[in-house]
Amino acid sequence: MPWKRTDRKKEPETGASREQYTRLRQNWLSGEAASLAPPDVGPIDVVAVMIEFGSAAGTATFVAANDGTASMYASSGGGIIGMGFHPSVAAASLALIGCAQGFLEVLPKVAQFPLPQQQHVAFRIVTRTGVHSAEFAEAAIRDDSPISPFYLAGQDLVTNMRVLDERRKKGGIGSDVLRVHLLADGGIFLLTPYNREPTCLTQKQLGKVLEIAKAHGDRLEVSVEPEAQKLHRSVLQVIESSGFAGAPSGGPIDAGFTIGSKTLHYAVDAARLDLAQDLIQRGADLEAKDERGYSALILAAFKGRTAVLRTLLEGGADAKAQDRHGNGALMFAAQWGDLEAAKLLLAAGADIGARGQNGYTALKIAKLCSQLEVARFLAARGATD
């Protein structure tokens, strides 16, 4: 069953039959596998993510579980089973699980799971209490689509699985040197030799990946930015307890961010609710700003990441923060018509009468953008133009 650890050095199996494909889907979508989740998995914690790609040849189903395991099955038969034995796949799998946590409010809970149409993608989030699911035309999933971070996290897992399978076919998979870089802002980045970009992990996820890496016989290099000691004391303890203590120090990893609270802004942009929660718990600076003067909260409102916005507010983020032009999170919530975000921000103390760029208030912006529901809400709360 999916919750029993297997030998991480074992090569992935291939040749899954159509019957196995049907059983895989049924196992996860019926709730059978979720019922076997460990006791510390809550009713709305993500147990697994299933992403299904429809094509003329059939459906390719990728499954990531919250223990780092991952598999792929094809409706026509064949597949790759047990890919979580390698840290690159495990890291991508856990990142996808973390991203999915923020989409529980976006995808409805359903009871029917037909295979997706051709050129469509179905996203399914498995919890103890049911499956949240929706299908989208793949062509409609653009960079600015609300579902795009989920899609990109899934693509990252798919890429890592395919790269690993190609290595297996070319002669097996030996041990690797992994690099972990700890940023001063609290970020934890893992890079394996076959990753094009590092994977950002929570402290708990890092522990799981290192457990898998240890069983696989990998080696570890760790680098820590000088200012990072306070935020990473517990992370360094996780590394030490993993059995990799005393590993040589590697050079820093280019995480692709330069200004502001790099990792927290990344968490917002990538809809990684798990990262935001982890950074808050470890004491990250919630008010650090990027090159536009956006705090993570302002960016969450700008991007429409309502679940992350709620978490930031609960963690103590300043609802009155402004960017370089005097624009606040409430103004962006009004611009995009995010009523839930507007309610959360006002409840947290956002200034309903603040004027930003061009002297516009949130109510004025809502009217200009034809966001009538938000406009009515703000007016009812005493807002003026």
Q: What is the pLDDT of residues 175-222, one digit of tens each?
A: 888 999 999 899 999 998 877 789 999 999 999 999 999 988 898 999
Return the CATH class of domain 175-285.
alpha beta
Q: Which residue has the tokens 């103590």?
A: 316
The pTM assigned to this predicted structure is: 0.91
Is the alpha carbon torsion for 347, 350, 354, 358 positive or negative?
negative
Q: Are 295 and 322 in contact (CB under 8 A)?
A: no
What local confidence, expressed as pLDDT, does residue 247 receive? Answer: 62
- The two three-digit tokens of residue 186, written as one number: 């609290």
Q: Of 77, 108, 97, 82, which Cα lies nearest the Cα of 34?
A: 97
Q: Which segments of the chain have a pLDDT < 70? A: 1-17, 81-82, 84, 245-248, 250, 255-260
Q: Of 306, 309, 226, 322, which Cα lies nearest the Cα of 264?
A: 309
What local confidence, expressed as pLDDT, does residue 38 receive? Answer: 82
What local confidence, expressed as pLDDT, does residue 36 receive? Answer: 82
Give the span between the Cα atoms of 198 and 191, in whole angstroms.
5
Give the span between the Cα atoms of 48 and 98, in whole angstroms.
10
Cross-sheet strand order for the sheet of 177-182? 199-200, 188-191, 177-182, 219-224
φ/ψ (deg, to 5) at 77: 105, 150
What local confidence, expressed as pLDDT, does residue 34 receive? Answer: 85
Q: What is the pLDDT of residues 222-261, one digit of tens each?
A: 988 877 777 898 999 999 899 886 566 767 777 666 556 7
Q: Are 178 and 162 in contact (CB under 8 A)?
A: no
Q: Of 128, 131, 135, 214, which Cα lies nearest the Cα of 178?
A: 214
What local confidence, expressed as pLDDT, does residue 134 receive? Answer: 97
What local confidence, expressed as pLDDT, does residue 5 receive? Answer: 29
What local confidence, expressed as pLDDT, does residue 192 receive? Answer: 87
What local confidence, expressed as pLDDT, does residue 257 receive? Answer: 60
Pinpoint the residues of the chain covered by CATH 1.25.40.20. 289-380
What local confidence, expressed as pLDDT, does residue 102 receive? Answer: 94
What local confidence, expressed as pLDDT, does residue 245 receive? Answer: 62
Rounded (10°) angle between helices 306-314 and 296-303: 160
Pinpoint the residues of the chain covered by CATH 3.30.420.270. 175-285
Q: Which CATH number fits domain 289-380: 1.25.40.20, 1.10.10.410, 1.10.260.40, 1.20.1050.10?
A: 1.25.40.20
